[in-house]
Structure formats: C-alpha cells, structure tokens
Structure 1
C-alpha cells in the first residue's frame, strides 16, 4: 500500500528530510503589507527574510493556510492517484483553521475520488485520515517523524492511525522567544490577549524570559527565567533529563528562528546533543518556518518530544 504523509508549512522539519521521505507540504501564505510570501519551507528565502527590512514588520503579518477548496483540489488532482492512504497531519486546531479546513475537504475528497482513481487505473479504495498534532512548530514535527518511521517499518494503516493519535496526545512542545514586545505586538494584532503590555514591558525591562509549554492544544507559561541564554540552557538541560528517563519516540525536534549555526552555539545545546546520542535519540534540527517566525519573532527556540505527563523544572 502506498502511504502518503501530508504536513503544513509550520511543521518544522529540515527541507532535506521532507524531500527524502516524500512528505507533501500544504503551504501557508504570509502577507506583509502589499508583499505576499508563500511559505514553502525554502530555507534561503527564510534566511533572506530574517536579514531583510520586512522582518521588522512581521508582527503585522497575515498568515493564510490552505482553504478547504485548495486542499480538495490538491488531493483530487494529485494525491488520490499518488497514494492509497494519506495521513494529513496539521498544526493544532486551537491556533489555526487548517485542521478544520482539511476535515471539511475530506468529505468532498472521499465522495469524489473514485472516477479519478479509476481513470488512472486504480480500482482499490482511497482512504484519508486528518490528524490534529495538537502542537506547533518543532513539536508538531515529532508526530510527522513518527508517521515516517511507522510507514517505513511496514506498520498497517490501523496500527499507524492508533499510534499517531496516541503520540499526538503526548507531544510536549516548549518555546523561548527573545523579544516579548514582539510577542505582545503580534498577539494584539491577532486579537490574542495572552501576552499583556505590562507583563511584556516588565519582562523586557528585567530580561525575564517565559518558558512556554504546548500540550494537547493548550499553550501556557511554565517558568520565568532571567536572560535568554540562561533560559535556553535550563530548557535544554530539562529536555536532556527527559531523554535520559526515556521518551515515547526516539526523536527530539528543535527549530530556531535564525541560522542553525547560532542554535548550535547556545548554552546547553552541545550537552543535549551528547545526551541524545548516548540514548539512541535523534536530535533533528530545522530552521523555523517563515510562518513560525512572523508569529513568535526572530531568534526564538522551539523544541518538542513525546513523553508522559511531567512538570517542567529549571
């Protein structure tokens, strides 16, 4: 059976990994003023954005995911003949309409695919499963990596479906942003009051960095640490402890809103990489998507892994 895996632009995986494993991308469009930037996970274009003048206007960006009609067209024009089963793995539905768009599109796809497949010489049925990864960015990538592992190991479709739902419900994502003022401006532009002016001003004045935790569709601060370097070092140290204790899947995904060379010099990162190596866990690095960067700002770190319930400790 030919199994396809579909992700969206916000899923922070390296471009080479996407290409080698034949993952299909649902691009997200970023609009800043009169400039439209399709987020196709083009790393050169993303790095150019970071260095260019438009990055200063990122807080005012509008992001537009694929509509249900665009998803329907992609499947009917291509995927229903390229694959027999597709797992469409979306950014958490609490932060984007993409999941609901994909679910809506699935009804039309499953009712219209038969003549298209038959014309291409396929008489077997086509199946589609839309999965809410319940997370963002690097954490979203954990479920996609598990889908690839399961597919390549020869797991059946029911086995994949059950396992992926379980993993998605147990992925923990953490994020530390450099600029609270940016986060506040972005939140205000989107009508999200989760980052208040007072807390942003106070945090920036004192150089306090909140550690944000994403889990089962919810995002909340779990710690406040003075200094960006101290915060990321504490986060990497905590993740290393979870790796040593044993994860649900053998991967930690990390993304950075800038050149990966900068990520590798952050305090605690080398130690985390060594811990992952010692425990047979892949540490997968990716440049943060353009979509992610306009939402959380340049220089942010996100990290994700599948694990049981736990409490963050600095």
Structure 2
C-alpha cells in the first residue's frame, strides 16, 4: 500500500527531511500589511521575510490556513493518484482552523475520488485520516517523523493510526520566547487580553522568561526563569533528563526562530545533542515556521518529544 504523509507548514520539520521522504506540506499564508508570503517551509524565503517584516510588525500579521476548497483540490488533483492511504497530521485544532478545514475537505474527497483514481488506472479504494497532533511547532514534528519510520518499516495503516494518536496524547513541546512585549502585542492583535501590560513590564524589567508548554492541544506557561540563557539551559537540561529516562520514540525536535547558525551557541543545546547521541536519539533541527515566528516572536527556541512524563522540573 502506498501511504502518504501530509503536514501543515507550522510543523517544524527540516526542509531536507521533507524532500527526502516526500512529505506534502499544506501552506499557511502570512500577511503583514501589503506583504504576503505563502509558507512552504522555504528557509531562505522565511529569513528574508523575517528580516524585512517580522522584527518590526510581525505582531500585526494575519495567518490564513489552507481553505477547505484548496485542501480538496490538493487531494483530488494529486494525492488520490499518488497514494492509497494518506495521514494528514495537523497543528492542534485549538490553535488553528487547519484541522477543521482538513476534516471538512475529507468528506468531499472521499465522495469524489473514484473518477480521478480510475482515470489514472487505480481501481482500489482510497482512504484518508486527519489526525490532530494536539501540539504545535516542534511538538508536531514527533508524530510526522514516526509516521515516516513506520511507513518505511511496512507497518499497517491501522497500527500506524493507533500509534500516531497515542504519541499525540503524550507529546510535549516547550518553548521560550525572547520578547515579552512582542507576545503581548501579538495577543492584543488576536483579541487575547490575558497577557497584561503590568506583568509584561515587570517580566521585561527583571528579564523573566516564561517556559511555555504545548500539551493536549493547550499552551500554558509552566515556569518563569530569570534570563533567556538560563531559561534555555534549564529547558534543554529537562529534555536531557527525559532522554536519559527513555522517550516513547527516539526523536527530539528543536526549532529556532532565526538563523540556524545561532542554534549551537544557545546555552544547554550542545549538552542535549551529546545526550541524545549517547542514548541513540535522533535530533531534528529546524528553523521555526514563519507562522510560529509571527505568533511568538523572533529568536524563540523550542523543543519537542514524546514521553510518559509531561511536566517541567
């Protein structure tokens, strides 16, 4: 059976991994004023857009997921021919409309695919499963990588589905932003008044950085640490402890909202890489998606993994 894997562009997979394994990316459109970029996870285009717009006006950005009609067209023009079964892995439905759009599109796809497949010489049925990864950014990577591994190992689709849904329930993403004022302005732009000016001012004055956890679809601060460098070191050390204790998959995902040449110099990261190497865990490094950067700001760093332990300690 030919199995396809589809993600949205908020999923922080390395571009080389996407190309090597034929992963299909559903783009998210980012608009800042008159500037528009459809995010296909092109790192050069993302950096150029970042340098030109995000640092100054990124909090004003509008992000638009692929519409129901465009998802339907993507499948009916390409994927129902190329594959027999597709797993569509989306950002948390609580963070974006993508999951809902993909689910709605799936009804039309499964109703309309037969003429297209028959014209291409395929008379067998086509199947599609939309899975909410219950996470975002670095956390989304975990299920996508495992889907690729299981497909390569010849695992059946029923077993793949059960495993991917189990991983989604146990995947954590942790992120540290650099600029609290950016977060506040972005929240206000989206109508979220929970990020107060006073707390932002105090946090910025004292250089307090929140550690934000994405888990079960929700995002919330789980720690507050003085200094960005100290915060990243503690976050990566927590990830090291999880690796030493044993992860549910041999995968750690790290994304950075800027030039990837800066990532190795972030405190704690080298130790995480060494720990993963010692324990047979593969590290996937990726530039944060443009969608991620406009939502959390330039220079944010995040890590994701699947573990039975979900806290930050």
Tell me the TM-score normalized by structure 2: 0.98
Q: Corresponding residue for 1:170?
A: 170
Structure 1 gap segments, 5+ residues each = none
- Aligned residue for 1:125, secondary structure, equals coil
Contact 2:28–2:64 (CA under 8 A) maintained in structure 1: yes
Q: Corresponding residue for 2:80?
A: 80
- Aligned residue for 1:52, secondary structure, equals helix
Cα deviation, residue 309, structure 1: 3.2
Q: Corresponding residue for 1:99?
A: 99
Q: Corresponding residue for 2:4?
A: 4
Cα deviation, residue 45, structure 1: 1.0
Residues 183-239 of structure 1, C-alpha deviations (whole Å, 9 max, x = no match): 010011011233222211111111000001110001111110000000000000010
Q: Corresponding residue for 2:47?
A: 47
Contact 1:211–1:223 (CA under 8 A) maintained in structure 2: yes
Q: Corresponding residue for 1:239?
A: 239
Q: CA–CA distance in 2 between the matches of 1:161 and 1:293?
A: 30
Q: Corresponding residue for 1:284?
A: 284
Q: Corresponding residue for 2:267?
A: 267
Cα deviation, residue 53, structure 1: 4.3
Q: CA–CA distance in 2 between the matches of 1:311 and 1:121?
A: 51
Contact 2:88–2:130 (CA under 8 A) maintained in structure 1: yes
- Aligned residue for 2:71, secondary structure, equals helix
Cα deviation, residue 52, structure 1: 2.0
Q: CA–CA distance in 1 between the matches of 2:4 and 2:79?
A: 8
Q: CA–CA distance in 1 between the matches of 2:147 and 2:53?
A: 38
Q: Corresponding residue for 2:230?
A: 230
Contact 1:254–1:304 (CA under 8 A) maintained in structure 2: yes
Q: CA–CA distance in 1 between the matches of 2:54 and 2:9?
A: 19
Contact 1:76–1:113 (CA under 8 A) maintained in structure 2: yes
Cα deviation, residue 286, structure 1: 0.1
Considering only aligned residues, what root-mean-square deviation do their CA atoms show, in Å? 0.9
Is residue 2:118 matched to residue 1:118? yes
Q: Corresponding residue for 1:22?
A: 22
Structure 1 stretches of 4+ moved >3 Å:
none
Q: Corresponding residue for 1:62?
A: 62
| 1:155-166 mapped onto 2 (5 Å cutoff) | 155-166=155-166
Contact 1:68–1:104 (CA under 8 A) maintained in structure 2: yes
Structure 2 gap segments, 5+ residues each = none
Contact 1:49–1:55 (CA under 8 A) maintained in structure 2: no
Q: CA–CA distance in 1 between the matches of 2:62 and 2:81?
A: 33
Contact 2:32–2:53 (CA under 8 A) maintained in structure 1: no
| 1:202-241 mapped onto 2 (5 Å cutoff) | 202-241=202-241
Q: CA–CA distance in 1 between the matches of 2:49 and 2:30?
A: 11
Q: CA–CA distance in 1 between the matches of 2:279 and 2:221?
A: 28
Q: CA–CA distance in 1 between the matches of 2:206 and 2:235?
A: 19
Provide closer, same or farther for how the CA distance between residues 218 and 167 of structure 1 changes in structure 2, counting only shifts above 3 A.
same
Cα deviation, residue 263, structure 1: 1.1
Residues 239-292 of structure 1, C-alpha deviations (whole Å, 9 max, x = no match): 000000000000000000011121110111111100000000001100011111
Tell me the TM-score normalized by structure 1: 0.98
Q: CA–CA distance in 2 between the matches of 1:212 and 1:53?
A: 24
